[in-house]
Amino acid sequence: MKPIRQVTSRAIPLIVNNIDTDLIIPSREMKSVSKTGLSDGLFAGWRYTEVGGRDPNPDFVLNGPTYTGAEILLTGDNMGCGSSREHAAWALAEYGIRVVIARSFNPIFRGNCIRNGILPIKADPEPLAACEGELTVDLEALLISCDGGGQWAFGLETEARDMLLEGLDPIDLTLKRAAEIAAFRETDRTARPWIYNLKAD
């Protein structure tokens, strides 16, 4: 995964409460056997004029030229509620979103963001949306600043911060303990041999 240190970009204002995972990526857009190919379906219900279509809805914020290539998304309360589908985080990441700022998050969605290299920040989006120009999110300093002035501090658990800074996922972290796990299994094998004596045929 791509590490995150500093992200500088326009912030896309989509300050709506209760954006559920089905709005982020409708189930009809999850047709493939892969984590990729989802970015076209991101916010499909709002982004296109017709269900299943690809004609851009000119009124939707993502479609204007102002936010082309923007990496920061501003949203409201309870971001990512609904089904626990991880496709929501995959679609955002593939589209190029690196930071999601919300008034509050659904915990499963938030965890999925961290796992997939997206920085979730709990903050009031309104003052950030008022920033004219670009925002800079500095993960090392835990600080958001507006290039026109204004700074806001934010918090994040140490492990999540380290993972995002180093571009690691939880599998990398756990694999650092591979020897410990192998030793645990060896001891367990004598106590519960039937758990291990399986033949895959």
Partner 1 sequence: MGQTAFEKIWNAHRVAELGDGTDLILVDRVLLHERTGGVALKSLADSGRQVNDPAQVFATMDHIVDTLPNRSDYTIMPTGRDFILATREASEAAGITLFDLHDPRQGIVHVISPELGIILPGATLVCPDSHTCSQGALGGLAWGIGSSEAEHVLATSTLRVNKPKTMRVTITGKLSPGVTAKDLALYIISEVGSAGAVGHLLEYAGEAVSDLEVEARLTLCNMATELGAFTAFIAPDEKVFSYLKGRDYAPKGAEWDLAVSQWKEIFSDDDAVFDRDITIAGEDVPPMVSWGVSPQQAAPIDGPVPQFEDVSSRDSREIYDRALSYMALEAGLPLSAVPIDAAFIGSCTNSRMSDLRRAAALLKGRKVAPHVKAICVPGSTAVKKRAEEEGLDKIFLEAGFEWRESGCSMCFFAGGESFGAEERVVTSTNRNFESRQGPKTRSHLASPETVAASAIFGHIADARLLAKESVQ
Q: Which is nearer to partner 1, 108 or 146 (CB)?
A: 108
Give the whole-angstrom CA distance, residue 41 versus residue 90.
11
Binding of residue 178 to partner 1 (CB under 8 A): yes
**61: Cβ contacts below 8 Å, ≥ 6 apart:** 12, 13, 14, 67
Binding of residue 21 to partner 1 (CB under 8 A): no
Give the whole-angstrom CA distance, residue 48 versus residue 60.
8
Binding of residue 189 to partner 1 (CB under 8 A): no
Binds partner 1 by CB under 8 A, chosen from 86, 92, 102, 164: 86
Q: Contact, 6 vs 139, CB < 8 A?
A: yes
Binds partner 1 by CB under 8 A, chosen from 6, 17, 170, 186: 170
Minimum distance from CB of 194 to partner 1 (Å)? Answer: 3
* Tally of CB atoms within 10 A around 171: 8
Binds partner 1 by CB under 8 A, chosen from 15, 108, 118, 119: 108
Q: Which is nearer to partner 1, 59 or 201 (CB)?
A: 201
Give the whole-angstrom CA distance, residue 79 versus residue 120.
10
Angle of helix 107-115 versus helix 87-95 axis, rounded to 10: 50
What single-letter DSSP state applies at residue 48?
A: B
What residues pair up with 101 in beta bridges, in sequence order? 74, 121
Binding of residue 188 to partner 1 (CB under 8 A): yes
Interface with partner 1 by CB under 8 A: which range of 7-15, 47-55, 117-125, 170-178?
A: 170-178
Binding of residue 94 to partner 1 (CB under 8 A): no
Binding of residue 51 to partner 1 (CB under 8 A): no
Give the whole-angstrom CA distance, residue 11 versus residue 137.
10
Binding of residue 177 to partner 1 (CB under 8 A): yes
Binding residues vs partner 1 (CB under 8 A): 28, 31-35, 84, 86, 108, 112, 115-116, 157, 159, 169-171, 174-175, 177-178, 180-181, 184-185, 188, 192-201
